[in-house]
Amino acid sequence: MTSENPPASSRTPVPAVSPGWRLTGDLDLFLDRGRVFLHSEPALHTVLLSVTETLRERGLRVYGDGVPLFGTYADADGTVRGAFLRTPPHRVSVSPVVPGAAEVLARQLAEAHPDLPGVASERATAEAFAEAWAKRTGASVALGTRQRLYRLGTLTPPEPAPPGRARVATAADRDLLARWYEEFGRAAGERPAMAPHAWADSRIAYGGVILWETPDGTPVAMAGATRRVAGQVRVAPVYTPADLRGRGYGGAATAAVTRAALDAGAAEVLLFTDLANPTSNRLYQRLGYRPVGDFAQWDFTATATP
């Protein structure tokens, strides 16, 4: 009679795996390694999910001319516990990670990418990365935008809605979308993630912008939404030209794009707000969005060599 299990002395030992970051420029390989992790918490990983989906659909250079970089953090048994991506010339985006992983990543990236302009992540992860970056490189680091992530509870559209209606932006709106996207970036003090017309084309391709227009057909606000990935959709950006604010157009557009995401099958609808803007934070809570957690962006400035 033979034993179902071989003697311990004859078993092939399982090699130990060192925990750490595995970097790659291959998007498909990154998604293969990180998919289970990224899909485990779609809300917390919304940026990585939406950016990688756009890269898949529009090409690896859609955010800039540089070559994107991706990475996953695995513990000793190979389980992925973290992920990041970088689309030059933008900040590195890092998922929330286990203690110590952000510092390891900062030291690792400092060797090959000393020109990194900053980091964006959940608050504690971003701070840990920034502190490690400053220590490793000598760069100056400064807290930039502080954000709060919200998840939709029950949608409560504004009552009464402003006069007009919502409609999906089309190719005929391309120049308007590009202009408003650029104005939104300037108002937020942020470099646009994509070239304005490229962004407009990417959103028009899947109906990713809702316009609110007055009864005479004049567009007065827009609200965008990312593609649905892992069941989540993120509302972004929401923009009303300065001379048209305070009339409820932005809230109406946001409610409309949220309703469209739900009708299309989104399990979660998310959005980020700037914590320095109490008006928008109150507005989105009135629409039914509830806080999930705080995020932060840090900016890095290399110290000049004397």
For residues 223 and 265, membership in a common domain is answered with yes
How many whole angstroms separate alpha carbon 64 and alpha carbon 12? 47
292 falls within a domain: no
225 with 125, same domain: the answer is no
Weakest mean pLDDT among 151-160, 187-196, 292-301: 187-196
Residue by residue, DSSP assigns 105-154 as HHHHHHHH-TT--EEEEEHHHHHHHHHHHHHHH--EEEEEEEEEEEEESS
The conformational region for residue 212 under phi > 0 = left, psi -120 to 50 = alpha, else beta, is beta
Backbone φ, ψ for residue 297 (5° rounding): -115, 135
- Tell me if 224 is assigned to some domain: yes
Alpha-carbon distance 174 to 153, whole Å?
32
Residue 191 has a pLDDT of 84
SS3 80: strand
Q: What are the helix (H) ranges across the chain?
A: 27-40, 46-58, 101-112, 123-137, 174-188, 196-204, 249-263, 278-286
Q: Which helix (H) or strand (E) holds 213?
A: strand 209-213
Helix, strand and coil content of the chain, in percent to the nearest 5, comes to: 35, 25, 35
Q: Are strands 289-301 and 118-122 parallel, antiparallel or unpaired?
A: antiparallel
What is the side-by-side order of every strand in the sheet holding 118-122?
A: 20-24, 69-74, 80-86, 92-94, 118-122, 289-301, 140-152, 268-274, 232-239, 219-225, 209-213, 165-168
Structure tokens at 35: 């998919």
- Which of 36-40, 41-45, 184-188 shows the lowest per-residue confidence on average (mean pLDDT)? 184-188
Residues 102 and 163 in one domain: no
Q: What is the per-residue pLDDT across 128-176, written as a single tens digit (0 to 9) for each?
A: 999 999 999 999 999 999 999 999 999 999 999 999 999 999 999 999 9
Whether residue 220 sits in one domain with residue 205: yes
Does residue 306 lie in a domain region?
A: no
The backbone torsions φ and ψ at residue 216, rounded to the nearest 5 degrees and listed phi first, read -90, 5
Q: Is residue 12 part of a domain?
A: no
The answer to the question of residue 247 being in a domain is yes
In this structure, are 163 and 216 located in the same domain?
Answer: yes
* Residue 107 and residue 171 in one domain: no
Q: Report the C-alpha gap between 296 and 126 in whole angstroms.
A: 6
Say what the pLDDT of residue 304 is: 53
Domain count within the chain: 2
Residue 57: which domain range?
20-147+297-301
* 246 in the same domain as 128: no
Residues 273 and 159 occupy one common structural domain: yes
CB-based contact 191:185 (threshold 8 Å): yes
Same domain, 167 and 282: yes
Do residue 178 and residue 247 come from a single domain? Answer: yes
Q: Does residue 181 share a domain with residue 128?
A: no
* pLDDT over 70 (residue 10): no
Q: Is residue 173 part of a domain?
A: yes
Measure the CA angle with vertex 61, ends 201 and 65; round to 5°. Answer: 120
Taking alpha carbons only, the member of 75, 121, 78 closest to residue 98 is 75
Q: What is the CATH number of the domain that holds 41?
A: 3.40.630
- pLDDT classification of 189: cutoffs 50, 70, 90: confident
Q: What pTM was estimated for this model as a whole?
A: 0.91
* CATH code of the domain in which 183 resides: 3.40.630.30
